[in-house]
Amino acid sequence: MSNGWEKWTDSEIANFQHDFLGWYQQEKRNLPWRYNQDPYRIWISEIMLQQTRVDTVIDYFYRFMEQFPTIQDLANAQEDKLLKVWEGLGYYSRARNLQAAAKQIMEEFNGDFPTTVEEIRELKGIGPYTAGAISSIAFEIPEPAIDGNVMRVVSRLFCIEADIAKASSRTFFDAAMRKIISQELPGDFNQAMMDLGSSICTPKKPQCEICPIQQYCEAYRENRQTDFPIKSKKQKPKDIYYVAGIIENNQQELFLQQRAETGLLANMWLFPLEEISENRFKELQEQYNPESWDLFSSSQVAEASPDFFAEQAIIWQKKVLGEVKHVFSHLRWHILVFYGRSAAPLTLDGHWVKPNDFSQYVFPKPQQKMLEIFENNLADDKD
């Protein structure tokens, strides 16, 4: 494989850095975590930005910093309060790792954020990219911060044919970045890479005509921009099928269940779920899908009780309220949502909760989607 970065002279590198950092100073995004070099703010933002769009993160960042303005506040936070602030961002292990790392900082670093790459890497939930971002932006250490955006930019810059889906390929991008990163302004350099990859050097239809480093780009010279980066297809997420029961009692309370302490969506609250086969899922879609219905009409109860939650005394409506699809990194959930009323005490583990009290419970995204479906059906029924 050609290592084009090794051919660059010191003069070429200096010119590249001058042009690139000049563009960044003029065009950099106005983001709340860029107001200063506080490592705590930078750390929180970088964790939030993993798998999440910048425009989504901004509001969450403000709320998070308002609730937990210091490392000590984060370390001492109640988990349910922490997860409630994080609610909707997904990948909740990120929030739990943040708190675990905050406790590490309090215990092992006397409450002061560590200042070396090696110490930062010791913190829970921090990998090479995040360590590079924090150390370069907060402490001006010339450490690369290599994420998907950076790999795309660098792969085009030097026509790197390494498969970015393979962990072993990071070696090439690390070597290239260490060659060209600014020693004086490494934080600005890394952030310039991030901004360029998100705004100009995009996965599809890169805007090469306005790219500040066009003249240095090997892929542009060879008209091969869309050949890079090289990425093998990742395995498709596994499909899992559920029915969900939105169950109401005579006190207008809804039944919620808490997930296990470990695993997917740990400790969060959802309407009861029951896994079914794909074939049964499709049968229920067809069987309980009349063209018109009234949510609370007694004439619309199921003539024959469905075979889910079979041991519970629940009167179900004929109609599927709606369908929820939610993709995790390795799973794709398909949920058919049903409404029912309890005719006797349930034997399921869980709590009856007034909808007005839902703000006290941490809901993951699938639960929020199910609740939205229910509320939309209620609104339609009142029209």
Residues annotated catalytic, as ranges: 46
**Cβ distance 258 to 350 under 8 Å?**
yes
Rg, the chain, Cα only = 26
- What's the rounded Cα separation, in Å, for the pair 288 and 291? 10
Tell me which H or E stretch contains 338: strand 331-342
> Pairing relation of β-strands 351-353 and 273-276?
unpaired
Which is nearest to 162 in space by CA: 357, 3, 377, 334? 3
State both tokens at 107.
């215990």
